[in-house]
C-alpha cells in the first residue's frame, strides 16, 4: 500500500469514528423529547448548529458541541497573539506550548457551553409534558458537562491526528463530514415537503439553481489567483537547471480559505448556545437578535466574515518572508527592487485581492440563504455550508495531488540513483 492510500484510509477511519460518536447520547437524556424540540427549531440558530455537528445536537450525543469550542479558542488565541508580542513569539518559536494553551482554553469554553446546555435541558418538555431529563438535575449537569467535554476533546484529538497523519486539515474535514452527513436528511425532508405541498416544484428548481450557481461561483473564485512574475539571475538558473524553479508567485484571490466563515459561525453561535436557557428579558433579546432567520444576524455574519478574511490573510501571507526568501534564491520581480520594495509590492497586491476575496466570502455566506429563505424553505440552508464543503473538497484534492507529485519525484530520485 502506498503512502497516499494509507493516509486516505487513516483519514476515513478517523471520520468514521467521528460519525459513530454522533450516535452516542449523553447519559440521562430522553432522546425523543430532544428530537421533537429540534424538529420545531430546524430553521433557527439551533438548526444551524445541528447542521454543523452532523445532527449530533438533535441526538444530544457526547459530541453535541462539536469542534466549535476548539475553533473559538483558536480565534481568541490568534487575536491575542496578534495583540501581545510575547504570545506572538510563543506561537512562532514554541508552537507546541502555544497549542497546549489553546487546548486548555478549549476545555474552559466547552465546560461553559456544556453547563449552559445542561441547564437549558431542565426546562425542556415533550408534547405530553414529559421531561427531557430522566435523572436528578444536579447529577445530570455534572454527567452531561463532562460527557460533552470528553466528546469535544476526542474530536480535537481526531482533528489533530488527521492533520498530522492523514490528508487535509483535520478540523475542516470534521466540519465537512458533519455538513455532508446532513445532506441525505435535508434531501428527504425537501422531497417530503414537495409531496405534502409545503414546497412547490418551481421553488425546488429555483433552490437547485441557486445551489449550482453558488457552487460554480465558489469553484471559479477559489481556483483564481494572481501570478506575479519572477526572474532569476543567469548564474542561479545554471546552478539549478536540474531543479524545477517556479517563475511566478501565486497569490490567491481568497487567501484566507475556509477559515473566515467557520470562525464567524463559531463566534455568532457561541452566545446562542450559552443563552438557550436564558429567562432574563435582556438575555432573551440578545438570543433572539442572533437568530439566523433575522437580518441582524446576516449583517453581522457578513461583517465578521470580512474581518476574519483580512485577519487570517495577514497571518497566512507574509510578504516580508517571501521577499527575503526570493532574494536569497537570487530571484526578483521585474521592475521591483529586491527586499523591502518587493515586500511592499506583494503586500499591496495581496491587499487588493483580499478586498475582493472578503467581499466574495461575505456575499456567498449571506446572499444564498437570504434568497432561499425568501422562498419560504422550511429548513436551514446557507451559503456558509456550501462554501465550507466546496472549499474543503478543493483543498483536500490539492493536498492529495501534492502528495502524489511528491511521491512521484521521490520515486524518480530513487530510480535516478
What are the tens digits of pLDDT across the range 89-99?
888 788 888 88
* pLDDT at residue 228 greater than cutoff 60: yes
Output the CA–CA distances (angstroms, integers) from residue 116 to 63, 69, 158, 270, 281, in the order listed: 15, 13, 25, 11, 17
pLDDT top residue among 122 and 27: 27
- Rounded to an integer, the average pLDDT of 137-149 is 88
* pLDDT at residue 179 greater than cutoff 90: no
Q: What is the pTM of this model?
A: 0.75
* pLDDT at residue 126 greater than cutoff 80: no
Q: Which domains does the chain have, with CATH numbers?
A: 1-181 (1.10.3370.10), 183-417 (1.10.3370.10)
Alpha carbons 240 and 244: distance in angstroms, whole number = 8
- Give the number of other Cβ atoms within 10 Å of residue 348's Cβ: 11
40 falls in which pLDDT band (50, 70, 90)?
low
Nine-digit cell at 359? 467581499
Task: Give the model's pLDDT for residue 245.
Answer: 52
Task: Give the model's pLDDT for residue 14.
Answer: 92
Alpha carbons 364 and 386: distance in angstroms, whole number = 9
- Rounded to an integer, the average pLDDT of 247-252 is 85
pLDDT in tens, 205-219: 887 888 888 888 888
Task: Give the model's pLDDT for residue 279.
Answer: 67
* pLDDT at residue 158 greater than cutoff 90: yes
- Rounded to an integer, the average pLDDT of 141-160 is 90
Nine-digit cell at 108? 474552559
Task: Give the model's pLDDT for residue 150.
Answer: 92
pLDDT top residue among 20 and 55: 20
pLDDT > 70: percent of the chain: 85
Residues in the chain: 417
Task: Give the model's pLDDT for residue 134.
Answer: 82
Task: Give the model's pLDDT for residue 233.
Answer: 66
pLDDT top residue among 57 and 354: 354
pLDDT top residue among 4 and 237: 4
In the 8-state DSSP scheme, what is residue 127?
T
Chain centroid to CA 239: 43
Q: No. of H helices and E strands in the chain?
A: 17, 4
pLDDT top residue among 167 and 1: 167
Mean pLDDT of the chain: 80
* pLDDT at residue 234 greater than cutoff 70: no
Task: Give the model's pLDDT for residue 52.
Answer: 67
pLDDT > 90: percent of the chain: 7
Nine-digit cell at 322? 517571501
Alpha carbons 269 and 287: distance in angstroms, whole number = 10
Task: Give the model's pLDDT for residue 65.
Answer: 84
pLDDT in tens, 321-342: 888 888 887 788 888 888 888 8
Task: Give the model's pLDDT for residue 381.
Answer: 58
In the 8-state DSSP scheme, what is residue 251?
E
pLDDT top residue among 370 and 157: 157
Output the CA–CA distances (angstroms, integers) from residue 130 to 18, 36, 339, in the order listed: 31, 12, 70
- Rounded to an integer, the average pLDDT of 280-292 is 77
DSSP character string of 211-279: HHHHHHHHHHHHT-EEEEE-EE-HHHHHHTTTS---SEEEEESSTTTTHHHHHHHHHHHHHHHHGGG--
Amino acid at each position: 500500500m502506498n503512502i497516499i492510500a494509507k493516509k486516505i484510509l487513516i483519514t476515513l477511519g478517523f471520520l468514521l469514528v467521528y460519525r459513530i460518536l454522533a450516535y452516542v447520547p449523553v447519559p440521562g437524556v430522553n432522546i425523543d423529547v430532544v428530537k421533537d424540540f429540534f424538529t420545531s427549531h430546524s430553521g433557527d440558530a439551533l438548526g444551524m448548529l445541528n447542521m454543523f455537528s452532523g445532527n449530533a445536537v438533535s441526538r444530544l450525543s457526547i459530541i453535541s458541541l462539536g469542534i466549535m469550542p476548539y475553533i473559538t479558542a483558536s480565534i481568541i488565541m490568534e487575536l491575542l497573539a496578534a495583540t501581545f508580542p510575547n504570545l506572538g513569539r510563543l506561537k512562532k518559536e514554541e508552537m507546541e506550548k502555544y497549542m497546549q494553551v489553546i487546548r486548555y482554553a478549549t476545555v474552559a469554553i466547552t465546560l461553559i457551553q456544556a453547563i449552559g446546555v445542561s441547564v437549558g435541558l431542565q426546562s425542556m418538555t415533550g408534547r405530553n409534558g414529559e421531561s427531557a431529563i430522566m435523572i436528578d438535575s444536579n447529577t445530570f449537569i455534572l454527567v452531561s458537562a463532562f460527557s460533552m467535554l470528553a466528546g469535544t476533546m476526542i474530536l480535537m484529538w481526531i482533528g489533530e491526528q488527521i492533520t498530522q497523519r492523514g490528508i487535509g486539515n483535520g478540523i475542516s474535514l470534521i466540519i465537512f463530514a458533519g455538513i455532508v452527513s446532513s445532506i441525505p436528511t435535508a434531501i428527504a425532508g425537501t422531497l417530503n415537503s414537495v409531496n405534502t405541498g409545503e414546497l412547490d416544484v418551481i421553488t425546488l428548481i429555483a433552490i437547485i439553481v441557486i445551489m449550482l450557481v453558488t457552487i460554480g461561483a465558489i469553484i471559479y473564485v477559489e481556483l483564481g489567483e494572481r501570478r506575479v512574475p519572477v526572474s532569476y539571475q543567469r548564474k542561479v538558473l545554471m546552478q539549478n537547471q536540474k531543479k524545477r524553479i517556479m517563475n511566478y508567485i501565486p497569490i490567491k484571490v481568497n487567501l484566507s480559505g475556509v477559515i473566515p466563515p467557520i470562525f464567524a459561525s463559531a463566534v455568532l453561535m457561541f452566545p446562542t448556545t450559552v443563552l438557550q436557557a436564558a429567562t432574563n428579558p435582556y438575555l432573551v433579546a440578545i438570543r433572539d437578535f442572533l437568530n439566523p432567520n433575522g437580518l441582524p444576524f446576516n449583517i453581522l455574519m457578513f461583517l465578521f466574515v470580512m474581518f476574519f478574511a483580512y485577519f487570517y490573510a495577514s497571518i497566512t501571507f507574509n510578504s516580508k518572508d517571501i521577499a527575503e526568501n526570493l532574494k536569497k534564491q537570487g530571484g526578483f520581480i521585474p521592475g521591483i527592487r529586491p527586499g523591502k520594495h518587493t515586500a511592499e509590492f506583494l503586500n499591496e497586491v495581496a491587499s487588493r485581492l483580499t478586498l475582493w476575496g472578503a467581499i466574495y466570502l461575505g456575499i456567498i455566506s449571506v446572499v444564498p440563504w437570504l434568497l432561499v429563505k425568501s422562498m419560504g424553505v422550511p429548513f436551514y440552508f446557507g451559503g456558509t455550508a456550501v462554501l465550507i464543503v466546496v472549499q474543503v473538497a478543493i483543498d483536500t484534492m490539492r493536498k492529495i495531488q501534492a502528495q502524489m507529485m511528491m511521491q512521484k519525484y521521490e520515486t524518480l530520485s530513487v530510480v535516478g540513483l
